[in-house]
Structure 1
Amino acid sequence: MSTPAPEPTPEPTPAEPPSTEAVTDLLGALAYGSLVAFDRMAADARLAPDLRRRAALSTMAGAEIANYRRLVARLEELGADAAGAMEPFVAALDDFHEATAPRDWLEGLTKAYVGDGIADDFYREIANFLEPGDRSLVLEVLHDTAYTEFAVAEIRAALAADPKLANRLALWARRLVGEAMTQAQRVAAERDGLTDLVVSGSGDLAGIGALFRRLTQAHTDRMGAVGLNT
């Protein structure tokens, strides 16, 4: 059983180009997310039960730094200071990761699969509101399929060996979603540019509602794909 791909979303060209402030906010959030992902994966690799898995996760951590550099380069093209663009997102992302520190290898993989999956779905939707160059950049720095497939294979194998783990990991996943929503609301309240991008790109309240329904369905499908829809 393969991991279900997210439902394709429309790729509209924005009626008006998004503001530089909005694009800077989005790329700043992505850049800091990539930097934190590198730190997190490198730390989680040390929880790996063997060298093969440790090496696999460490390799993926290296890809996050490559993504970070691409995002920083684009921020500089926009005339933004990369550190300044990332700073508004430091507290929310750090608080999320502090509140959801995994206790073991499987919790770390579930966090990556669920948390990064939700974030990727959101950024994939928002990319549709950008001009082509920035849209391509955002889509290219999202986690690749090898990363997802690795996490899926590990979680499925663990559940096959011990089905009782499903309840614990499902509860953990729900906690991750709750913490992610809390911090997302915090960012939305503080960053007008990013919020305006979502609102204007969606078109109206019906468009925003449809966007969040797609995100919810993608999350449900993702949980079901690994047997965590208990």
Structure 2
Amino acid sequence: MTQGSSAQPGVIDLLGLLAYAELGSFFRLADDAGLAPSLRTKGQLAGLAATEQQHYQALHRRLAELGVDPEEAMAPFVRPLDGWHERTEPQSWLESLVKTYVGDGIAGDFYRRVAELADADTRALVEDVLAETERAEFVAEQVRAALVEDPRLAGRLSLWARRLVGEALSQAQAVAVDRPQLAALLARDPKVAEREERTGDSGLGDLAAVSRMFASLTEGHAARLSAMGLAE
């Protein structure tokens, strides 16, 4: 990490994690575009991939502005994120779309929760990066259309979605344990965070509080399944 950065280590971890996730999303959406069944769908997915690249560049710039080497900030998250993707390799184009919808939904909830305890500029950037809803709507529409054509897909895709949630939460908890400064940010109460910011105090987060926070991330899962026409 470049010397001289005034940002909290947990915030740097948040931005590095999100930046690498956005870079990975760009490549996956570009791959999905190549496998899409129609020119219209190919074009839409290519556009969504381009948006992910713009998000990545914005996060990259923010890290540089904070005096941090962006690649160095991303490096600790390459292995865990790549490992999660290897363990959840889709077997079809539809499974890939469900993975995008479910995985990005859980991750987005995670990033928003952490950003609530970050500085105002970082919070605004994360919210801007995650504000894009076009992709979620597009993916849900594609899955619903496929289920209309073949309702038998619903059971398999529902099981796949549940597996993705379990794998995502397990990996996120492992990252938090491995990155104690990020865990500290996750476990902080907003009032405590404000007091620490004034006094300059900081401590390692309570992993029990981190676990409770991760458990709460499943709250939106049922709504995401419903949006795709799947049952929990």
Q: Is the 8 A contact 1:92 1:183 kept in 2?
A: yes
Structure 1 position 166 matched with structure 2 position 138: no
Gaps of 5+ in 1: 1-17
Question: Separation in 2 of the partners of 1:143 and 1:154?
Answer: 20
Structure 1 position 57 matched with structure 2 position 59: no
Gaps of 5+ in 2: 1-5, 193-205
Q: Is the 8 A contact 1:35 1:68 kept in 2?
A: yes
Q: What are the superposed Cα offsets for residues 114-168 of structure 1, whole Å, 9 maximum, x if unpaired?
A: 0001101111122211121110100111161111110011111111221110001
Q: What are the superposed Cα offsets for residues 147-201 of structure 1, whole Å, 9 maximum, x if unpaired?
A: 1110011111111221110001011111211221221122111101110000114
- Once the two structures are TM-superposed, the CA of residue 214 in structure 1 deviates from its matched residue by 4.0
> What's the TM-score once normalised by structure 2's chain length?
0.85
Q: What are the superposed Cα offsets for residues 73-124 of structure 1, whole Å, 9 maximum, x if unpaired?
A: 1111111110110000000100111111222221111001100011011111
Equivalent position to 1:197, from 167, 185, 190: 185
The higher relative CO (CA closer than 8 Å, separation ≥ 6) is in 1
Question: Separation in 1 of the partners of 2:91 and 2:215?
Answer: 31
Question: Separation in 1 of the partners of 2:126 and 2:189?
Answer: 15
Question: Separation in 2 of the partners of 1:212 and 1:55?
Answer: 35
Q: Which residue of 2 aligns with 1:178?
A: 166
- Once the two structures are TM-superposed, the CA of residue 212 in structure 1 deviates from its matched residue by 4.1
Q: Is the 8 A contact 2:7 2:66 kept in 1?
A: no
Question: Separation in 1 of the partners of 2:150 and 2:207?
Answer: 44
* Counterpart code for 1:26: L
Q: Which residue of 1 aligns with 2:218?
A: 216
* Counterpart code for 1:77: E
Equivalent position to 2:25, from 32, 37, 41: 37
% identity of equivalent residues: 49
Q: How does 1:59-208 map to 2 (within 5 A)?
A: 59-142=47-130, 144-201=132-189
Cα RMSD between the aligned structures?
A: 2.0
> What's the TM-score once normalised by structure 1's chain length?
0.86
Q: Which residue of 1 aligns with 2:195?
A: none
Q: What are the superposed Cα offsets for residues 187-228 of structure 1, whole Å, 9 maximum, x if unpaired?
A: 111101110000114667897576445422211221122232
Question: Separation in 1 of the partners of 2:89 and 2:68?
Answer: 32
Q: Which residue of 2 aligns with 1:7?
A: none
- Once the two structures are TM-superposed, the CA of residue 47 in structure 1 deviates from its matched residue by 1.5
Question: Separation in 2 of the partners of 1:187 and 1:213?
Answer: 15
Question: Separation in 2 of the partners of 1:70 and 1:106?
Answer: 29
Q: Is the 8 A contact 1:45 1:53 kept in 2?
A: yes
Paired residues in the alignment total: 213
User: Where do 4+ consecutive residues of structure 1 move more than 6 Å?
Assistant: 202-207
